[in-house]
Amino acid sequence: MKNLLRILFPLLVWLASFSAIYALHGLGCALGWSNVALPGMSLFRWLLLVSWLIALLAQGAMLMALRSRRFRSHDTFIHRTSLATSCAGLISTLWTLLPVAVSGPCG
Amino acid sequence: MNALRRHRKLEAIWSSEPGWKGWTSSVNHSDLGRMFLFTAFFFFFVGGVLAMLIRAQLATPDSAFVDAGAFSQFFTMHGTIMMFLFAIPAFEGLAIYLLPKMLGTRDLAFPRLTAYGYWCYAFGGSMLLVAMLFGIAPDGGWFMYPPLTGPLHSPGINTDFWLIGITFVEISAICAAVEFTVSILKYRAPGMSLDKMPIFAWYALVTSLMILTGFPPLILGSVLLEVERAFGLPFFQADLGGDSLLWQHLFWLFGHPEVYIIFLPAAGIISTVIPVMARTTLLGYGWIVASAVALAFLSFGLWVHHMFTTGIPHMGLAFFSAASTLVAVPTGVQVFAWIGTLWKGRPELHMPMLHILGFFVTFVIGGLTGVMVAVVPFDWQAHDTAFITAHLHYVLFGGFVFPMLAGIYYWLPLLSGRKRLFRLGELAFALIFVGFHGTFMAMHWVGLMGQRRRIETYDADTGWGVINFISSVSSFVMAIGLAMVLVDIIIHAFVAMRGRRNPWQAGTLEWASMSPPPSYNFASLPEIRNRDPFAGDPDLPNRLAKGEGYLGEPKAGRRETLMVDIATGRPEAVVVYPGNTRLPILMAAVTGAFFLSILLKLFWITPLALAGVAALALVWVWQLGSRTDQGAQDAGRGVTLPLASETDRSPGWWGSTFLLVANATFFGSLLFGYAFLWTVAPGWPPAEWLDPSWAELGLGIGAALVGSIALRVGTRRNRNGTSPQLALVPALLATVVTVIVFALLLFRLPPPDGHAYAATLFILGAYGLAHALLVGLMQGFLILQVRRGFTSARRQSGFSVVGLWSDYLCAITVLSLLAAHLPGMAL
């Protein structure tokens, strides 16, 4: 079961972070966080960017862990496939959450 | 024992009853797979006739062929039948028939569950057909948006048929998904490690996990809408704190993964057929597995792209637009892997290959228009036009029907043991291909000219008449082609000559059984050393027939197979299956009585039907019990293994684990709905909160924890050989307290028909109460089993299953009570 989870887990983390940031976005718009100004940008933008960074770091950590001796699978097929899904998770996090940096939050 | 004698003994053990009686009592996967496929294609025929009626109506402007009401029923039932009664069941049927043969085993994990799933599908589908015959079929479109389908705008029974009938049918999909997941992970031939699994099994595994997590949001949505319609709880009514957008979220949380639930099995067929047709091996097996997994996950991040015109903020739209474009990448990886496989091999243009080529052309066009509608400004222009109808047909027909037809022609010699006689299929393919593109290419065009989907007629001066006429004529050409496929298959089944085994020279295991396969699949189970075990080993079928594999000696009328380690395929236990029984059809009938009682508002039958289902479920489990330890079993080839029912990770534990994954998704969707209404819906906060109670909160959480812990103590005591009763009785008492706490919650709520807040808490409380009653029943049953001697230190599987459900009850009790009581305390 652990081997299967090694393949599934990186994208599960993407799905969790994607859903969480979408929920945060809904909550922030409902509570008017975009109107709270902080240096450089609104509180809401800060929150979204920090959340995105955390999601990217989590994906990066996952990739490193699956490459490490401690957590890697001894099965070559599982090892390679888990690295592929881990890279997919990292790219997905980078691309699908990019709008937090470039799009207007509640317009 | 010689091969013939072994065959006769195994047939006597595994075969179904002769004649029509066998249909009702068979639990054999080959029988049920064929029944699923036959029923699914019957529904495909019905859905196709409806499509022809739709196209007849739209062929000319100002048509009076049917009125608007009938037209609404036609397009609703066409979409509903094709999605729920054809596509998913056709995959289920194919996988039920093929998977055990491909995996080198004798049946799926839970044969009676396969039969129960089939009968739920047949009965639920029949309900919808009956509604159509009486002219009261659903008419709100296949995605049933409220408020159109709410009690105010659709007061008739039409919508109820959809909500109840489809929920009934979805039981079948959940059963099949649990079945496939456990079977693929645990019921394989010895030595078949994950990297040696046939690629179709990987796709079926990914699809099954998607069904387990994709269907529950729709089941929840259907329950909520039906409860709103029947009892007035306002989940989707904006004036009472509800929001119709909640339905769209729940529906498309299911609906978009559904597209890939339909496509991925088809991709499994393509990945299986192409290497055989190209006389080579699949290029990039690992990349394809990773792509299928990525596609599955990404498909859960796309649902809002069906809601781009609902006024969601730009950033929200951008998230889903980005995800929608990204999903093309893993799809592209698979398409390039298939092209690469063809490139490195020596492709031969047999009949299945024609449909594969049809798939390539059609699906790639559908994928490209998919990327177009993923771009928000384009979607705003094309939304709800015939362009979208055309796009979805390119994806679904191209991505499912063409590969299914390829699969049928590929596996037909296995199913029938015959070889094709006439060349009708080639002409049929040409008509289908030309007809399809004529129909839907024209529909793209007329959609871009502004024709909305689902309109029953249009004026002559719109300029859409000629294009619609071309589309309608082409659709009839396609229908003639599909009818010719049917004729071709009937001729093949009844007239064609006997063929030889493995006519395609394929390497997968299903071809190593006889054609058509016997009821037991393999006289003995093979040891697997590579991904194509039959390739380069033509003597494999003979050795298996001689009993040189595992479980080669039939024993005392027992239906046996092996359970293996997930990663390595190392044999772990011997499984003994139940025999033929009418329990599944009876239980499906009683389940149907439950759904019918709600549909017809005969609520006095509802508790009786529920009690009936519970009683039959207890009989179901009771029949599996044993009063004596069986000990180590001879598995053949010098290997002895325990019985699966005498391990702590029994088949029941695995089944419960994956069923709870679906259950937890349902619960999570309910919490999502609660949070969504709270933050987005108008009319919040409610006028009246639940009066919070620390005592109820503490008592409920405490009882749930005690119940879970006591069950663990009982399990440990049983394992150590001491009496578990001392722990089981407190566990049951704690569950009774949990029942009381949930009943109190329901009793003390503000009126649930007054506001969506109270309505949501009512459903949360009812969900908790139902689970507490269920776990109480399971614990009581376990106590009875202990008293009657059905458990021992070795026969411990019941403890692990009930323990799992007790832990789940503990988790949902804590979360439900916190969600119910904390807001009142904080506000």
pLDDT digits (tens, 9 = 90+) for A1-50: 788 889 999 999 999 999 999 999 988 888 888 888 888 888 899 999 99
Return the structure tokens found at B614.
């519970």
Q: Are residues B616 and B718 in the same domain?
A: no
Return the structure tokens found at B209.
């996990």
- Domain map (residue ranges) of chain A: 6-101
Looking at beta carbons, which residues of chain B come within 8 Å of A30?
679-680
Side chain identity at B814, as an amino acid letter?
Answer: V
Q: Do B402 and B462 contact (CB within 8 A), yes or no?
A: no
Closest approach of chain A CAs to the CA of B236, in angstroms?
19
Pick from A3, A49, A96 the residue to mutate for testing the B interface (most B CBs within 10 Å): A96
CA angle B282, B101, B587 (to 5 degrees): 130
Confidence at residue B19, expressed as pLDDT on a 0 to 100 scale = 85
Q: State how far Cα B61 lies from the chain centre.
A: 40
Query: What are the CA-CA distances from residue B371 to residues B328, B332, B336 (Å)?
Result: 8, 12, 17
User: Would you call A84 and B287 a contact, using CB atoms and an 8 Å cutoff?
Assistant: yes
| Unique residue bearing structure tokens 């047939």 | B11
Interface check for B720 against chain A (CB to CB < 8 A): the answer is no
Q: State how far Cα B523 lies from the chain centre.
A: 30
Closest-CA residue to B478 (of B430, B425, B435, B427)? B435
Residue B431 covered by a domain: yes
Q: Of the candidates B286, B297, B680, which has its C-beta nearest A14's C-beta?
A: B297
User: Would you call A18 and B301 a contact, using CB atoms and an 8 Å cutoff?
Assistant: yes
Residue B6 covered by a domain: no
Residues 6+ apart with CB under 8 A from B256: B299, B300, B302, B303, B305, B306
Q: Are residues B596 and B660 in the same domain?
A: no
User: Would you call A81 and B289 a contact, using CB atoms and an 8 Å cutoff?
Assistant: yes
Q: Are residues B286 and B418 in the same domain?
A: yes
Confidence at residue B291, expressed as pLDDT on a 0 to 100 scale = 96
Alpha carbons B348 and B331: distance in angstroms, whole number: 24
Residues 6+ apart with CB under 8 A from B95: B33, B176, B180, B204, B265
Backbone phi, psi, residue B150, to 5°: -75, 175
User: Would you call A99 and B287 a contact, using CB atoms and an 8 Å cutoff?
Assistant: no
Three-state SS letters, B168-206: HHHHHHHHHHHHHHHHHHHCCCCCCCHHHCCHHHHHHHH
Whole-angstrom distance between the N-terminal and C-terminal Cα of chain A? 44
Looking at beta carbons, which residues of chain A come within 8 Å of B567?
2-4, 75, 78
User: What number is the ipTM of this complex?
Assistant: 0.94
Q: Do B705 and B255 contact (CB within 8 A), yes or no?
A: no
Alpha carbons B407 and B346: distance in angstroms, whole number: 20
Looking at beta carbons, which residues of chain B come within 8 Å of A81?
286, 289-290, 293
Q: Are residues B785 and B754 in the same domain?
A: yes
Side chain identity at B752, as an amino acid letter?
Answer: P
Alpha carbons B665 and A12: distance in angstroms, whole number: 14
Q: Are residues B245 and B107 in the same domain?
A: yes
Residue B7 covered by a domain: no
Alpha carbons B728 and B778: distance in angstroms, whole number: 11
Return the structure tokens found at A9.
């887990």
What is the extent of the structural domain holding B609? 582-622
Overall number of domains in chain B: 3
User: Would you call B319 and A97 a contact, using CB atoms and an 8 Å cutoff?
Assistant: yes
Provide the CATH number for the domain around residue B743: 1.20.120.80
The residue in chain A having the minimum alpha-carbon distance to the alpha carbon of residue B567 is: A3
B residues 352-391 lying closer than 8 A (beta carbon) to A: none
User: Would you call B566 and A1 a contact, using CB atoms and an 8 Å cutoff?
Assistant: yes
Three-state SS letters, A85-99: HHHHHHHHHHHHCCH
Residue B200 covered by a domain: yes
Q: What is the pLDDT of residues B673-713, one digit of tens each?
A: 999 999 889 888 999 999 999 999 999 999 999 999 999 99
| Unique residue bearing structure tokens 């027939």 | B545
Interface check for B500 against chain A (CB to CB < 8 A): the answer is no
Q: State how far Cα B732 lies from the chain centre.
A: 33
Residue B532 covered by a domain: no
Residue B514 covered by a domain: no
Looking at beta carbons, which residues of chain A come within 8 Å of B181?
none
Closest approach of chain B CAs to the CA of A22, in angstroms?
7
Alpha carbons B84 and B75: distance in angstroms, whole number: 14
Q: Are residues B310 and B396 in the same domain?
A: yes
Domain boundary among B450, B466, B494: B494
DSSP assignment of B453-468 equals: TT-S---GGGS-HHHH
Q: State how far Cα B499 lies from the chain centre.
A: 34
Query: What are the CA-CA distances from residue A78 to residues A73, B193, B827 (Å)?
Result: 6, 10, 50
The residue in chain A having the minimum alpha-carbon distance to the alpha carbon of residue B288 is: A81
Alpha carbons B794 and B147: distance in angstroms, whole number: 56
Q: Are residues B655 and B613 in the same domain?
A: no
Domain boundary among B622, B654, B672: B622
**Which residues of A lie inside 8 Å of B (Cβ-Cβ)?**
1-4, 7-8, 11-12, 14-15, 18-19, 21-23, 25-27, 29-30, 75-78, 80-81, 84-85, 88, 91-92, 95-100, 102-107
Backbone phi, psi, residue B524, to 5°: -145, 155
Alpha carbons B538 and B81: distance in angstroms, whole number: 43
| Residue spans of chain B under pLDDT 50 | none
Query: Residue B111, CB half-sphere, CA atoms under 13 Å: how many?
Result: 28
Confidence at residue B827, expressed as pLDDT on a 0 to 100 scale = 67
Q: Are residues B603 and B751 in the same domain?
A: no
Q: Are residues B667 and B614 in the same domain?
A: no
Burial of residue B23 (number of CB atoms within 10 Å: 0-12, 13-18, 19+): middle
Q: Are residues B169 and B288 in the same domain?
A: yes
Q: Are residues B112 and B240 in the same domain?
A: yes
Pairing type for strands B633-636 and B639-641 reads: antiparallel
Q: Are residues B187 and B222 in the same domain?
A: yes
Residue B638, by phi and psi: left (phi above 0), alpha (psi -120 to 50) or beta?
A: left
Q: Is the dihedral of CA A33, A34, A37, A42 positive or negative?
A: positive
A58-89 burial, b at 16+ Cβ within 10 Å, e below that, comes to bbeebbebbeeeeeebebebbbebbbbbbbbb
The H or E element spanning position B640 is strand B639-641
User: SS3 of B501, please?
Assistant: coil
Closest-CA residue to B172 (of B217, B116, B215)? B116
Alpha carbons B342 and B362: distance in angstroms, whole number: 18
| Unique residue bearing structure tokens 């323990």 | B803
Mean pLDDT over each residue of chain B, to the nearest integer: 94
